[in-house]
Amino acid sequence: MDIITSYKPLAAVLAALAGAILVLLSRRHPNIRESWSFLAAMVMLGIIVSMVPDVAPAPYGRGLSLHQTVFYILPGVSLSFRADAFSMVFGLSGSFLWAITVFYSAGYMRGLKEHAQTRFNACFALTLFGAMGVAFADNFFTLYLFYEVVSICTYPLVAHHQDEEGYTGGRKYIVYLTTAAKGLILPAMILVYVLTGTLDFAHNSQQGIFGADMGGVLITIMYACCILGFAKNGVMPLHSWLPGAMVAPTPVSALLHAVAVVTVGVFCTTRVMLYVFGTDLMTRLNLGLPTAYFVSFTILMASVIALSKDNLKARLAYSTVSQLSYIILGVSLLTVDGIHGGVAHMANHAFAKITLFFCAGAVFVMTHKKNISEMSGLGRTMPITFAAFAVASLSMIGAPPVAGFVTKWKLLTGAMEMPAYSAGILAVLMLSTLLNVAYFAPVTFKAFFGKRPTGEIETGVKEAPMTMVVPIMVAAVISVYLGLFPDTIMTFVKAVTG
Amino acid sequence: MDFLSMNTLGFPILTLLIFLPLAGAAVVPLTGNDNISRLWTLLVTMVNAALSLLLYFNFSPDSAKFQFAEHYQWISAFNIHYTLGVDGISLLLILLTTLIMPLCVLASWKYITSRVKEFMVCLLIMETAMLGVFMALDLVLFYILWETMLIPMFLMIAVWGGPRKTYASIKFFIYTLAGSVFLLVAIVALFIHQGTFSIPELMGQQYSPQFQLLVFLAFFIAFAIKVPMFPFHTWLPAAHVEAPTAGSVILASVLLKMGTYGFLRFCLPITPGATIYLMPALQWLSVAAILYGGFTALAQQDMKKLIAYSSVGHMGFVTLGIFSLNASGLEGALLQMINHGITTGALFLCVGMVYERNHSRELSDAAGLGRFMPVFVTFLTFFSLSSLAFPGTNSFIGEFMILAGAFENNKILAAFAIPGAILAATYMLRMLQRVIWGGTSNPDHSKLWDLKLRETITLAPLLVFVFWIGLYPEPFLRVIRASLGNLLLQTGYAVP
């Protein structure tokens, strides 16, 4: 892969920062303020799209990797950015989803007359600043820096309501994330530096940065630290910040679960797995399969917990915990299809999950209902919302022709490509699919075919405001599009394994 | 005298830096009213700060020698000289001192209302003594200036301090004086042994292990109290809480560095054998300080106490770096000394600003300030993030290098320091959460005003350094490398 210098990755990251500053400056004019958010999102998306011809592999593009070093900090440590195929998967989906979330949150926040909207918008933009910084980080230090930026900037969003519940959720959120990062990632990063003298990522997903002669025990310890330490990836047992953060306003939940926070978590995890350790080393030290079984527990357990939740957002939260581990599972299979499935799921999951949260938010704005049991029959009142919900759940389940099917297909073939022991992984994938059906299907079914709760009458079609419905439709349509034309994402995904 | 590189600037810059504040102090009583004396002090400290920049720009970073040196006979009967010099170890500390002093004057502008002239005299004498300590290359000169620091600091706490000022000032005095006695013992012992007070001449000599051990321990007690290392730290919270803002800032930013500076200047080069012999114990003591400081800070309700205990933890990182005895650890430790000076100084300034408005340092009284003082909490947020070693800020670089050094040296031990980093994040974020947001019901702050221009100017330069060092530390690391490399050679410690 050829490397050229380009300011574009840096510019994409800075677009969000500039957006945040402009939002703060125009706090007295709500319309201008939201325009800045949207403008920043569009500028960012524009810059990222403009990198596609350079980064996309042949025959679509030139297959380059764009680099920009901003500061040299220590020998082997710098603040630098890169755009390669792997970062584009997250960069494209994240920036696109930010743009539609800006619309949606304007509708949601104004619909509910929420307080402190300027702070909300500014923190939102700062979170995207962090998320894109992670996407385009060229080394472990830059990755860690922006990972922490995301942690800090999302705290005010999680605790937004400033009530007892908000503070409790916020405290749990920040304690889990910063403790894991400081306690596990920081020492792992320092050890990597001490052992190799550099924190730069490798330029392909096989080699890694360790020499062939380095001790296996120490590397295994560092590897375990990285899997657990990026606690935003929701892997059990450090997952419970995620349901706790459900107290946040719904656009935040959407942001947390789809665009920024959790995707940042799995992106960091997989980035480090592939570009610090590398598949060669993971194969040599047999790190793949134990990881796969370790996250399998999360996949199954979280699905079972999701079954028991009546609160829609809580059910979606546990679904997120479960789905995120698919991504790590895919990569840890260490087969070409497995890695493809896992990486592609970052985008596929993002589009589907944001649709689901948008729907939950639309329902809440219109009816103030949070529980699934109260929503029976509601599909007849809000048909577009629940149709989108149905499409997105199909994606989560992995049914064609929605994007999640591509993931599941790749994961299954990836598991079968494994030299041995794949039966267990196949069983996990099957079982979790059934569980997905079990907790998603009833929601849609009851909404369309269930009886209204006693005391309510049919009101005819009464959808949420257009600022909310349009983003919902866009996100759902894209999920279908990615299912029908998976190459949009898969082009980049395939370049990851070269 | 081949370790001295004589001053070629055409004027004795070091002497000028030391005695300019003293001369300024002599003029203060002649100034008409309090405002003029404030302005005069500000002027003197700013001129001194500008002057000290000459040091940085004329410093040759490739040389480990003492530069800008001045060397005169003083008391020939005892072979005492007036020797001054600056190397990579002291250069940044001198710059830190001259940077902090004008900010201290600004911070005392409204805070000190009684005996203003006396306070300004104290500040200026303090500056003379502190700069002298960093520049002195003769043990007697060093000792005199070291003791001189004690008096103005004692007065600052005892006269302008809070309700328990008598207790705090006497405790501070006794602790520090007790340490100084041991320092004197070490100095006399070295003189009897070698017949010289010249610090550079005493370095790199062959002393017997017993002699080294005794001298080391004497030095160690003096400096460990000053740092303060666990378990010699108990004077610190009391002194910090009672001292006026400027006193706390000087104490945190500069005085604590005297101890670690002493380790670098005396313990490592003069008694390397004893340092290496005691290295494991010193490292564990550092880790104990890191953890103890962290846990205790977590329990504080008083913001000044919280920051004081956080200092114990942060200085634990510094000593951990020093006693890792490798390039990464030493460079990180020296950089972290500067970082701690900047960040903790700034945090004390912030608390002082809250106290001036609210007349309380309790966290519960400061809850929810964010709504009414947005500019203030922005500063506070950045300084707190720096304090918890957020990546991209100055302390992260220092902590990273220290931990890299520690991991290189002893992986198990370094792993024990990691919880200290977690604790730092926990207590700083807890303080931030309380001050910015508070709880569901907060005290009424609607009468409080946001930062005035003077206060913004006080904090802004420190914020610049937080990010400058955090993102581009090379200009700072460049000047310290040669001297620390030389120091490492003098200790002769090879990684086992």
* Number of CB pairs, chain A paired with chain B, less than 8 A apart: 75
- What is the mean pLDDT of the segment spanning B482-493? 84
Report d(CA A110, CA A97) in Å as an integer: 20
Confidence of residue A257 (pLDDT cuts 50, 70, 90): low
**Pairing, β A64-74 against β A77-83:** antiparallel
The answer to whether residue A337 is domain-embedded is: yes
- Judging contacts by C-beta atoms under 8 Å, the chain A residues touching residue B385 are 152
Q: Which of B379 and B437 is assigned the larger pLDDT? A: B379
pLDDT at A249: 78
Q: The tokens of A165 are what?
A: 């519940």
Check: CB of residue A47 under 8 Å from CB of residue A8: yes
Confidence of residue B494 (pLDDT cuts 50, 70, 90): low
Confidence of residue A1 (pLDDT cuts 50, 70, 90): low
Report d(CA B179, CA B326) in Å as an integer: 27
The answer to whether residue B260 is domain-embedded is: no
The answer to whether residue A420 is domain-embedded is: yes
pLDDT tens track for A229-244: 898 888 888 888 887 7
The answer to whether residue B24 is domain-embedded is: no
* H-helix or E-strand spanning residue A2: strand A2-5
Q: Which of A71, A164, A178 minimises the CB distance to B472? A: A71
Confidence of residue A35 (pLDDT cuts 50, 70, 90): confident
Contact at CB, A174 and B429, closer than 8 angstroms: yes
pLDDT at B18: 92
Q: Looking at the predicted structure, is the pLDDT value of residue B467 above 60?
A: yes
Check: CB of residue A87 under 8 Å from CB of residue A133: no
The amino acid sitting at B248 is S
The answer to whether residue A477 is domain-embedded is: yes
Q: Please, what's the b/e burial string for B406-427 (b: 16 or more CB within 10 A of its CB; e: otherwise)?
A: bbbbbeebbbbbbbbbbbbbbb
pLDDT tens track for B10-51: 888 899 999 999 998 888 888 878 888 889 999 999 999 999
Report d(CA B468, CA B180) in Å as an integer: 36
Q: Looking at the predicted structure, is the pLDDT value of residue A258 above 80?
A: no
Q: Looking at the predicted structure, is the pLDDT value of residue B284 above 90?
A: yes
Residue B443 buriedness (CB in 10 A; 0-12 / 13-18 / 19+): middle
pLDDT at B495: 57
Backbone phi, psi, residue B138, to 5°: -125, 130
Give the rounded percent of residues in chain A with a pLDDT score beyond 90: 14
Of A370-374, B21-25, B66-70, least confident by mean pLDDT is A370-374
Contact at CB, B400 and A190, closer than 8 angstroms: yes
Instruction: Residue A478: give the domain boundaries.
Output: 288-498
Name the residue with tokens 């075919």: A449
Instruction: Compute CA distances B472 → A91, B91, B478, whole Å.
Output: 27, 18, 11
pLDDT at B182: 92
The answer to whether residue A382 is domain-embedded is: yes
- What is the mean pLDDT of the segment spanning B195-210? 86
pLDDT tens track for A121-149: 888 889 889 999 999 999 999 999 999 99
Report d(CA B59, CA B62) in Å as an integer: 9
Give the rounded percent of residues in chain A with a pLDDT score beyond 70: 98
The answer to whether residue A387 is domain-embedded is: yes
The answer to whether residue A29 is domain-embedded is: no
Instruction: Residue B427: give the domain boundaries.
Output: 271-496
- What is the mean pLDDT of the segment spanning A348-372? 86
- The total number of structural domains in chain A stands at 1
pLDDT at B140: 92
Name the residue with tokens 């049991």: A373
3-class secondary structure per residue, B324-354: CCCHHHHHHHHHHHHHHHHHHHHHHHHHHHH
pLDDT at A66: 87
Q: The tokens of B455 are what?
A: 């206060």
The answer to whether residue B325 is domain-embedded is: yes
Q: Which of A71, A144, A162 minimises the CB distance to B437? A: A162
pLDDT at B342: 93
Q: Which of B390, B403, B419 minimises the CB distance to A190? A: B403
- What is the mean pLDDT of the segment spanning B333-362? 90
**Pairing, β B4-6 against β B66-75:** parallel
- Judging contacts by C-beta atoms under 8 Å, the chain B residues touching residue A175 are 426
Q: The tokens of B384 are what?
A: 């707190």
pLDDT tens track for B152-173: 999 999 888 888 888 989 998 9
Nearest CA in chain B to A192: B404
Q: Please, what's the b/e burial string for B454-490 (b: 16 or more CB within 10 A of its CB; e: otherwise)?
A: ebeebbebbbebbeebbbbbeebbebbbbbbebbbee
Q: Please, what's the b/e burial string for B308-328 (b: 16 or more CB within 10 A of its CB; e: otherwise)?
A: bbbbbbbbbbbbbbbbbbbbb
Report d(CA B331, CA B325) in Å as an integer: 10
- Judging contacts by C-beta atoms under 8 Å, the chain B residues touching residue A194 are 404, 407-408
| Percentages of chain B per state (helix, strand, coil), in multiples of 5 | 75, 5, 20
- Judging contacts by C-beta atoms under 8 Å, the chain B residues touching residue A187 are 403, 407, 414-415, 418
Q: Which residues of B touch A (CB under 8 A)?
A: 385, 390-392, 397, 400-401, 403-404, 407-408, 411, 414-415, 418-419, 421-422, 425-426, 429, 433, 437, 439-440, 471-474, 477
- What is the mean pLDDT of the segment spanning A187-196? 90
Nearest CA in chain A to B429: A174
Chain B nearest C-alpha distance from A427 (Å): 39
Q: Is A391 left (phi over 0), alpha (psi -120 to 50) or beta?
A: alpha
- The total number of structural domains in chain B stands at 1
- Judging contacts by C-beta atoms under 8 Å, the chain A residues touching residue B429 are 174, 178
pLDDT at A403: 87
Name the residue with tokens 């959790």: A262
Chain B nearest C-alpha distance from A254 (Å): 24
3-state secondary structure of A68: strand
The answer to whether residue A26 is domain-embedded is: no
Q: Looking at the predicted structure, is the pLDDT value of residue A252 above 80?
A: no
The whole-chain average pLDDT of chain A stands at 86
Nearest CA in chain B to A184: B418
- Judging contacts by C-beta atoms under 8 Å, the chain A residues touching residue B474 are 72-73
Chain B nearest C-alpha distance from A190 (Å): 6
- Judging contacts by C-beta atoms under 8 Å, the chain B residues touching residue A13 are none
Residues 6+ apart with CB under 8 A from A429: A408, A411, A412, A415
Chain B nearest C-alpha distance from A390 (Å): 39
Report d(CA A238, CA A222) in Å as an integer: 17
The amino acid sitting at B250 is I
- What is the mean pLDDT of the segment spanning A468-490? 88
pLDDT at B78: 85
Confidence of residue A212 (pLDDT cuts 50, 70, 90): confident
